[in-house]
Amino acid sequence: MTYTIGVGRYIPTGKGGVLNQELKLKIDGMHCTSCARLIEGMLLDTEGISSVKVDYESGTGALFADLDRLSKEDLLDHLAREGYESHILGGNGEGKDSGLPAAEAASSGGPLDGKPASKVGFQDTIAADVSEKQASNETPAQEKNKELNPDRRVGLSLSGMHCASCAGLIEHSLNKVAGVKQAGVNFAAEKAYVTFDAAVVSPDGLIEAVKRAGYKAELVDETDSEYESRKREREMAGYFNKFLFSLAFSLPMLYFMLLDFFKWLPGANSFPPYFGIVSFLLATPVQFFAGAGFYKGAWSSLRMKTFNMDSLIAIGTSTAYFYSVVNLISHSVSNTSLIGLNGAKIPNMYFETAAFLITFVLLGKWLEARAKGKTSESIRKLMGMQAKTARVIRGGVTSDIPIEEVAHGDIVLVRPGEKVPVDGIITKGSSAVDESMVSGESLPVEKHVGDQVIGVTINKTGSFEFEATRVGSETMLAQIIRLIEEAQGSKAPIQGFADRIASYFVPAVLGIATTTFLVWFLLLGASLTFALMAFTAVIVIACPCALGLATPTAIMVGTGKGAEYGILIKGGEPLEAAEKITTIIFDKTGTLTKGEPEVTDVLSFNGFGEEDVIRVSASLEKSSEHPLAEAVYGYAGEESVGLSDVTDFEAIPGHGVYGEVQGREYYFGNRKLLTDIVGLELDGINSKVSRLEEQGKTVMMLSSKEKILGAVAVADTVKETSREAVSRLRDMGLEIYMITGDNQRTASAIAKELGIKNVLAEVLPEDKASEVKKLQESGSKVAMVGDGINDAPALAQADLGIAMGSGTDVAMETGGVVMIKNDLRDVVTAKELSKETFDKVRQNMFFALFYNVLGIPIAASVFVSLGIVLRPELAGIAMVLSSVSVVSNSLLLRRFKPGKKNYVSKVAPIVMVVVFALLFLWFAKISSGMNENMAVAGGMEETAMASSQTMENIGSFITSGESKVNFAEGELKLFLSASSLMGEGFEAGEGTLQLGTNQMILGSEEAEMMMEEGLFDKPGDMINDFFGVPAMQVAGILEPTGTAMDNFHIVDPLTFARLETAANLKAIMKDGELKLFYIVDGNNVPEVFRGIFDSGNLGAIFIAGNSYEPIMLGAEEAAMMQEEGLFSKPGDLLEDFFGTRVMVAGILPETGTVLDNLHFISGQAQFREE
């Protein structure tokens, strides 16, 4: 493990003037966040190290070390003993005196909230990574160490993913590559971030690994602001073009389907024989061109020994397609014809199912791509802010050049109203600059020579020139965009739940689908067609797309929305942590207060003058830039007090400082300095000092060895927004703490002003993390809000670290959330946003699981007895809707506004649940109509809707009575004679089972049809002139049975005799199966079949001395018999068909009615029940 160490700032500590030095680390070889925590703990236990923060994701760290107590060599040896190789890149390890720590120690029993020697703002922080990269190119030693530390982290832009399983497959493939330390893939962002050893594998090797997995990848080009937009446009165009292609070939097959329902449409009588071959020609290019991507993805996943969404789509569509191909070939071979016989279509063709399934999935992917594009709108907004050109001055000549060509050191001219193109420092002129797009501050900021300007901000008034210091991917805007992209590409802990489900989901679905097929086909005796369609529907509807989108889409929108309000959330983990927080600890100085203290009181004692108090105190503090030290030093300047040189300086940790001024010894610091070190009593001044402390002022005291000479009181103003933020957080039910090194009286005064009841005072910087840990051990989920270096350990210890934008880079790198505006109200906004974001995550998880829990049983035809089934193509639409609903729900986060209720976001999910549940049921109803004939394939007795015992009981009941048929407007009507239905196992859905003269009980389907036609409204209604009966009353309606009984009118024998008769119907049971025979006698052939056959075609024929009865078969009955191998083509002979020799005289055209399930025989034929 390699450490790259560079010299940073210094802070004083220890006696004898020993200095702490900040060392920045570049860490290589960590395998997880536990490694980072392990290294932190190990280093913090090392003598001489005061604070340390190691970040696994970025591979960086920062620490403060006392190099007089711990040499760099000892540090490296210590790391080596722990198993980590380390290298020093630069710096001599010698710190300069950065001032006295009296200000740091004065306000407490220990040091104050320490600030670093140099103030830095957000811009310094966000560019920290870039500065380190630039530094790595400055010296040969650094270049050499870079070779020794080859770890790199790259982003890959991915294409071709369809679901969370795809993301898991790519992640698995990348992690298997030698040299890869960590790889993470985000499905919604379509990005992969990979940490790898550049000495072992190159980016090209990573791209090749993705390609081997069956997907496309290319390096993310951070300098190309339009790259993601172009990629998204290409993706959407690809899906849309394939969708249009697929739709164009599928629409004719939709017309074929409509012809089954609407016989009045053109071609209803002439087109059916050609349905099969034409559908084959139309479906084939859809299957293998438009659907090629699914086959490629399925093959890639198979090679990786796993399954994904492509596998499901490929298996589902192939089942329908190749089943149809086999039936088409079988028909063609048996009948030597590629078209249907006798004007009928070839049975069991489901080419349209495969074609429409692919069409709808492609439509869904296009809609999903559009919706996912909107989730990253915040990044596009940021990219759109960037200037396109810059006006540079080179060699005295001013010219406009593309922003990409601006180099370090260029002098850039900016006129009023123009955007600042890159980051830099003003060298000439002044102006007011609008920084609202970065900081959120509404008022323009005055800028003068030496001030920093940020690219993308707008110059409002005067012209100025500035020197470019950060360009390209180094600018603050580029770093913010990178931070947001990585946050949006990160995974929240809750995503692990979804990933675990997705990893097992596809194999589970295949198992459920296979079980569905076996149960229907083998156990329940459903037709092969019905079982295969149920198998396909289960596979299609269960694609885990919605589950894979549930978390990342919400996080993408949530983190993007946070960026709009100046809140940078570094990924899903801190966002989820923010939602769970119960306790918030605020650092005082610079967080709750402005961090700009002023001297308010100067007290002198024992004949020492006030000016002398300021002169000596300011001399001791003159080199420090700590806010309290600056206040004392600044006050001396304001009062024109001259300063003196300091010799024999010594820092006394936790107390203050010692030094000689003009040959006299002085001590300057807190109470403990005077009582514990110097040994003086405070009785004479205690009341005065206490009075100042009770006003919230920090008091630092000056003394000699013999007596107290004076005191300096400093007050820090509470931020205007702090009271409001604390109040709102308390109203949200959070426990609020303030932590500070101040003494109890001072801290309590500030806390009282803010309304904070819990105060942790006199806490040493190194103990802040311990205080956080104590609260965590009591069961609290703790957020720490701070901005100082000494806050970094506490920020790391807390469940959520929140760094203020004015803080140090160490604190901000440690914080999981960064507040750009340094406004505590943004802490409230972050809490509100995290709650709303994870409300969306939970809603999305519900949507994804709700669709599958509801959809899989329906697709498996579990509710078929209720008439609820789902065709595969409609299952495909339902699957698409699940993904679209999840993404749409996440997009509702775009309506988030701080402090306001997002009512639309709360109500919309409820509406979507209701709407999509109704759509499911509507699809099921449509499917039931489309499946009506398929469900009764096998001659009604083999319908999938009823158990074998139920079918046998009902079949026996039907065969026990007489049956006849009549026609109404060409529709076949079945009538059954029965004395009573009581005690026969039937249930009345409405009305009664008691049957009287001129009364009838209706099967469920027949009743529904008659009510739709307006013949009656409810049981008890009378129907006039009903097939020869002047007035017929509807006595009751049977519960659905899923058998032929659902199509019958049941009447008593007397009424049966009065009914008109078009033809008699013979019902025969054999092996538990019901067969219905239409007795053709004279001119009673159904009108739809006239011209195809008549009674003369059904006379007995003699073959080889044997008599055979000709039989015409309805289309569905013929298909079922062919499936069972009873015959293959018209003209075949059956030697024992219900005890009689028969010849299949022909197969009748499909009508979409009960006629398709009948056998048509002569009245002379003799059949017997066995």
CATH of the domain at 444: 2.70.150.10
Which two three-digit tokens encode residue 104?
């740091």
**657 touches 669 (CB < 8 A):** yes
Q: Could you report the per-residue pLDDT of 308-359, keeping only the tens digit for each?
A: 667 777 887 888 788 888 888 877 887 777 887 666 677 767 788 788 778 8
Q: In sequence order, which residues have a C-beta less than 8 Å from that of residue 384 and are 6 or more positions away?
A: none
Of the pLDDT bands very low, low, confident and very high (cuts 50, 70, 90), residue 808 is very low
d(CA 178, CA 163): 26
Closest CA to 326 of 97, 162, 528: 528
The answer to whether residues 943 and 1078 belong to one domain is yes
For position 425, what pLDDT does the model report?
Answer: 93
The pLDDT > 90 percentage for the chain reads 13
Q: How confident is the model at residue 897 (pLDDT cuts 50, 70, 90)?
A: confident
- Domain shared by 295 and 444, yes or no: no
Give the domain-ending residue among 324, 343, 375: 375
Q: For 847-881, what is each residue's pLDDT tens digit? A: 777 777 777 888 888 877 666 777 776 776 677 67
Q: To the nearest whole number, what is the mean pLDDT of the chain?
A: 77
Domain that holds residue 928: 490-561+858-935
Rg (CA), the chain: 42
Question: Is 534 among the domain residues?
Answer: yes
Which structure tokens are listed for 793? 């350990």
Matching residue, tokens 């390096």: 219
Q: Are residues 1147 and 1051 in the same domain?
A: yes
969, 1115: one domain: yes
Same domain, yes or no: 179 and 280: no
pLDDT at position 131 is 38
From CA 519, how far away is CA 516, in angstroms rounded? Answer: 5
- Mean pLDDT computed over 805-818: 58
- Asked, for residue 625, whether it belongs to a domain, the answer is no
Q: For residue 723, what is the domain's CATH number?
A: 3.40.50.1000
In DSSP notation, 999-1064 reads EEEE-HHHHHHHHHTTS-SSTT-EEEEETTEEEEEEEEEEPP-SSGGGGEEEE-HHHHHHS--SEE
pLDDT at 1105 over 60: yes
Tell me if 706 is assigned to some domain: no
**525 falls within a domain:** yes
Catalytic residue among 310, 434, 499, 587: 587
Tell me how many degrees the CA angle 552-557-560 measures, rounded to the nearest 5. 120
What are the pLDDT digits (tens) for 1147-1164? Answer: 888 877 888 889 999 888
Long-range contacts of 703-707 (CB under 8 A, 24+ apart): 703/666, 703/667, 703/668, 703/674, 703/678, 704/664, 704/665, 704/666, 704/667, 705/665, 705/667, 705/678, 707/605, 707/606, 707/680
Angle at Cα 928 formed by Cα 925 and Cα 930, nearest 5°?
Answer: 115
Main-chain dihedrals φ then ψ at residue 309, nearest 5 degrees: -60, -35
**pLDDT tens digits, 449-492:** 988 898 888 888 888 999 999 888 778 777 777 766 665 555 56
Residue type, 1008: E
For 287, phi then psi, to 5°, come to: -65, -45
Instruction: State whether 8 and 30 are in the same domain.
Output: yes
Tokens of 426: 């003003």
pLDDT at position 711 is 92
H/E segment holding residue 521: none
Q: Which of 820, 843, 870 is the last residue of a domain?
A: 820
User: Is the per-residue pLDDT at 577 higher than 80?
Assistant: yes
Cβ contact 20:66 at 8 Å: yes
Question: What pLDDT score was predicted for residue 141?
Answer: 33
pLDDT tens digits for range 347-372: 767 788 788 778 877 876 776 666 55
d(CA 1162, CA 1094): 10
Token digits of residue 165: 């399983």
Which helix (H) or strand (E) segment is 629 a member of?
helix 627-638
254 and 363 co-located in one domain: yes
Q: Considering the domain boundaries, does residue 1094 fall inside one?
A: yes
Q: Distance between alpha carbon 312 and the CA centroid of its chain, in Å?
A: 21
* pLDDT at residue 824 in the model: 87
In a domain, 668, yes or no: no
Count the domains in the chain. 7
pLDDT at 769 exceeding the cut of 50: yes
| Tokens read off for 750 | 């500030």
Q: Are residues 1115 and 1014 in the same domain?
A: yes
Q: How confident is the model at residue 442 (pLDDT cuts 50, 70, 90)?
A: low
3-state secondary structure of 736: strand
Query: Exposure of 1090 by Cβ count < 10 A (0-12 exposed, 13-18 middle, 19+ buried)?
Result: exposed
Please give the full DSSP string across 116-153, using - where no structure is assigned: -SS---HHHHHTHHHHHHHHTTT-HHHHHHHHH--EEE
Q: Which of 1162, 964, 965, 950 is nearest to 1074 (CA)?
A: 950
Domain membership flag for residue 700:
no
Give the whole-angstrom CA distance, residue 747 versus residue 744.
5
**What tens digit of pLDDT does each residue of 1046-1091 get?**
889 999 999 999 999 889 998 888 776 788 999 998 888 888 888 8
DSSP calls for 803-829: EETTS-HHHHHH-SEEETT--THHHHH
Answer yes or no: do 206 and 348 share one domain: no
- Which range (234-238, 833-837, 924-928) has the least confidence? 924-928
Does residue 396 share a domain with residue 454? yes
Any idea what the CATH number is for the domain that residue 189 is in? Answer: 3.30.70.100
SS3 state of residue 601: strand
Answer yes or no: do 899 and 1040 share one domain. no
| Residues found in the chain | 1170
Q: Report if residue 325 sits inside a domain.
A: yes
| CA separation for the pair 1049, 1007 (Å, rounded) | 9
Domain boundary among 220, 238, 263: 220
Does one domain contain both 509 and 556?
yes
* 809 is a catalytic site residue: no
Q: Tokens 């080179």 map to which residue?
A: 394
DSSP-based three-state secondary structure for 684: coil
Residues 120-150 have pLDDT tens digits of 333 333 333 333 333 333 333 333 333 444 5
What angle is formed at CA 228 by the lines to CA 224 and CA 232, rounded to 5 degrees?
A: 150
Q: Other CB atoms closer than 10 Å to residue 997's CB: what's the count? A: 12
- Cα distance between residue 1046 and residue 1041, in whole Å: 6
